[in-house]
Amino acid sequence: MSDLYSRHRRVMPDWLALYYDDPIEITHGEGRHVWDSDGNRYLDFFGGILTTMTAHALPEVTKAVSEQAGRILHSSTLYLNRPMVELAERIAQVSGIPDARVFFTTSGTEANDTALLLATTYRRTNTVLAMRNSYHGRSFSTVGITGNRSWSPTSLSPLQTLYVHGGVRTRGPFAHLDDRAFTDACVADLRDVLGHTRPPAALIAEPIQGVGGFTSPPDGLYADFHDVLKERGILWISDEVQTGWGRTGDHFWGWGAHAASGPPDIVTFAKGIGNGASIGGVIARAELMNCLDANSISTFGGTQLTMAAGLANLAYLLDHDLQGNARRVGGLLIERLRAVAAQLPGVREVRGRGLMIGIELAQPGTDEADPQAASAVLEAARAGGLLIGKGGGHDTSALRVAPPLSLTVAEAEEGAAILEDALRSAYS
């Protein structure tokens, strides 16, 4: 056990999860690679949980942060803040929400907290609809709307949460149906739930469930949900903490796959926009954002240093069409992994979109989850020089692949080869 690991265990909570039997300390990175304190080099296919969106040590971002640090780091939202206004303008422009207002936080958890505050205040009810297998954060309120047992340490909550079907296509009571019938059954379930309760404030949903193992419904499901919700004045909150900024390739926001009924009422974001700087936020039309009748500020949300990082990072993403790169390279990667999976009885499904790919493992010949195999593949991939993540429902049997959006075709091939070897070793 390393000295740092021993020190970690003495001062950190037992519930603070670490990857690997022998945890690693990442000391630096460049492009799509990182190095640990022993000098080992890894191809990074997880990006600090989908947070290193463009590249490690991206010169444009490090230069912007350095220059801003030389001027002023922070002043709070009590003063006019040019980088914050400039980033809000850019995000409002690409949001798809009319008359958009943007509020910055320091994390996705805090962004979802704020969205819940807005929705429940606007609608004057604390009842919220959420998806089964979902994850929305670690605060008291966001744990209360998280539908994933592994990440929900308490049943206590300030909210009344009602969970509906639809976030997981290939498991559950409707899994045997085709896409249209699946969507119709989920819509019928939603209508049934709404028939037994007073109208909720909002539905909050991840277009692709992140911690849940990169699961998603058929395209258009949330559009159909939105039509039902609008009949009753219920809001739609799209949690884009992991799916935003073009990661899915086909759309800039994950909700784009469900856009037939128009944009969501509220969008939350975080992770990738800062490329490692702590930025989260909420986008909503002015009527919703301005519904609070008390003062509020954010001490660290919108601080100049993180806004400088976000501005440079978003500009790089748009100028270099990283959404297009995610679509092209992600498409090649997912097909390569599906070809590998076809030869391995323990791979139940390869799913995803763009550079957001899930590999669900099951005990060969069954539908039973295989979390032990997932852990073994995680370890073997690391030994081969590749960092990936894992997730899923209560079983944590899905591998998560989410490299920086600047991934090259050669790096995708290299990572796929390492992952193939790791998968084969788990089922040899």
For 96-170, where are the alpha helices, taking DSSP H only? 108-123, 140-143
Give the end of a domain, one of 291, 319, 347: 319
Q: Which residue reads 């991840």 in tokens?
A: 206
Shared domain for 325 and 311, answered yes or no, is no
Residue pair 390/212 in contact by the 8 Å Cβ criterion? no
Shared domain for 216 and 186, answered yes or no, is yes
- Which domain does 38 fall in, by range? 3-58+321-426
Angle at 208 between CA 340 and CA 368, to 5 degrees: 55
Shared domain for 111 and 256, answered yes or no, is yes
* Average pLDDT, 10 consecutive residues per value, the chain (428 residues): 90 95 97 97 98 98 98 96 98 97 98 98 98 94 91 88 96 96 98 95 98 96 98 98 98 96 96 97 98 94 98 98 98 97 95 97 93 97 98 89 98 98 91
Give the end of a domain, one of 304, 319, 334: 319
Whole-angstrom CA distances from 190 to 129, 143, 203, 219, 367 are 9, 22, 10, 17, 27
pLDDT attached to residue 1: 52
Q: Token digits for 407?
A: 């991934």
As for how many domains the chain has, the answer is 2
CA distance 8 to 16: 10
Q: Which residue reads 């990072």 in tokens?
A: 313
Cβ atoms within 10 A of the Cβ of 32, count?
23
Shared domain for 278 and 352, answered yes or no, is no
CA distance 428 to 77: 57
Shared domain for 389 and 285, answered yes or no, is no
pLDDT attached to residue 284: 98
Side-chain-side CA neighbours of 330 within 13 Å: the count stands at: 27
